[in-house]
């Protein structure tokens, strides 16, 4: 199985241009650099093409910009690996940094895996663009819907006006009377300042979010180290970190684990005395 290919396998001698061509041809994309695939969305869709229906595409964020977004995509990918019993460790910490060599190596492995499943043949029934609309990218579907409704309204309006030129002149006259004047210079400056202030606030909030996320990520990495991952305190911390939003019992469960740990330690001290 390609999951266990060695570092000297021919898969790791496939060049960047061939990898990019492979991705662009199969997913109808236009990537020009390997690091553009660092978000993990490409890898998720490649697995979706190789194993139709196995990837929950609604959880894949194709417009991710931050490391947090990337990590969520890799969690989806890791879940898929687990379902398929693929023994492949994903170096998420390195991949999300958009390091070209790390991402190239992972994509080389992915190509070898996909080729081993379908012999390198494309799934002709797979529509990559349509499947991406089921993911986190909503920008594809929105403009199409809006443009369609706009065309419909325009055709209705033009049709009604063509029937009666008087209606056209009258509606134009009425529209001109009710047209609101544009903003004055002072109002425009005020709105510009307000927009600038909002942008500054958003930038500050994003920096604060990234700061605290980095801290949480450091805690997660620490709890995942082989020496600590099975300790009760690490288990309790991970209970909180990995809890879903609707899971209100995570803190209580973590506190229970810590309480049991403290009770065991106190019992041990009593026995020693």
Tokens standing for residue 193: 């300042």
What is d(CA 92, CA 73) in angstroms, rounded to the nearest whole number? 10
Other C-beta atoms closer than 10 Å to the C-beta of 140 total 13
Q: What does the angle CA 72 – CA 84 – CA 87 come to, to the nearest 5 degrees?
A: 80
- pLDDT at position 213: 75
Tokens standing for residue 174: 């009425």
State the Rg of the chain over Cα. 27
- From the centroid of its chain, how far is CA 113? 22
In the chain, which residues have pLDDT < 70?
1-9, 134-182, 244-248, 269-273
Which residue's structure tokens are 């400056």? 189
Tokens standing for residue 238: 């991970």
- pLDDT at position 6: 61
- pLDDT at position 271: 65
Burial of 108 (C-beta count, 10 Å sphere; 0-12/13-18/19+): buried
Query: Is the distance from CB of 236 to CB of 247 less than 8 angstroms?
Result: no
- pLDDT at position 273: 59
Tokens standing for residue 268: 């041990």
């Amino acid at each position: 199985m390609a999951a266990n290919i060695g570092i000297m396998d021919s898969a790791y001698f496939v060049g960047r241009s061939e990898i990019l061509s492979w991705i662009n041809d199969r997913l109808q994309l236009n990537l020009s650099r390997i690091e553009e695939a660092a978000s993990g969305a490409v890898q998720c869709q490649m697995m979706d093409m190789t194993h139709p229906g196995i990837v929950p595409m609604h959880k894949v964020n194709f417009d991710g910009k931050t490391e947090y977004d990337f990590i969520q995509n890799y969690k989806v990918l890791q879940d898929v690996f687990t379902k398929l019993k693929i023994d492949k460790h994903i170096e998420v910490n390195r991949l999300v940094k958009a390091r070209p060599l790390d991402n190239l190596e992972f994509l080389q492995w992915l190509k070898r895996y996909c080729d081993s499943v379908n012999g390198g043949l494309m799934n002709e029934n797979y529509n990559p663009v349509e499947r991406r609309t089921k993911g986190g990218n909503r920008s594809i579907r929105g403009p199409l819907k809006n443009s369609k409704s706009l065309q419909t309204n325009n055709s209705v309006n033009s049709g009604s006006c063509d029937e009666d030129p008087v209606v056209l002149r009258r509606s134009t006259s009425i529209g001109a009377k009710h047209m609101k004047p544009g903003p004055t210079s002072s109002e425009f400056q005020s709105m510009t300042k307000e927009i600038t202030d909002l942008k500054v606030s958003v930038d500050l909030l994003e920096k604060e979010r990234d700061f605290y996320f980095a801290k949480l990520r450091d805690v997660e990495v620490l709890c995942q180290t082989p020496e600590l991952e099975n300790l009760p305190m690490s288990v309790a911390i991970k209970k909180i970190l990995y809890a879903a939003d609707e899971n209100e019992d995570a803190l209580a469960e973590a506190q229970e684990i810590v309480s049991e740990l403290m009770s065991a330690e106190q019992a041990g001290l009593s026995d020693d005395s």
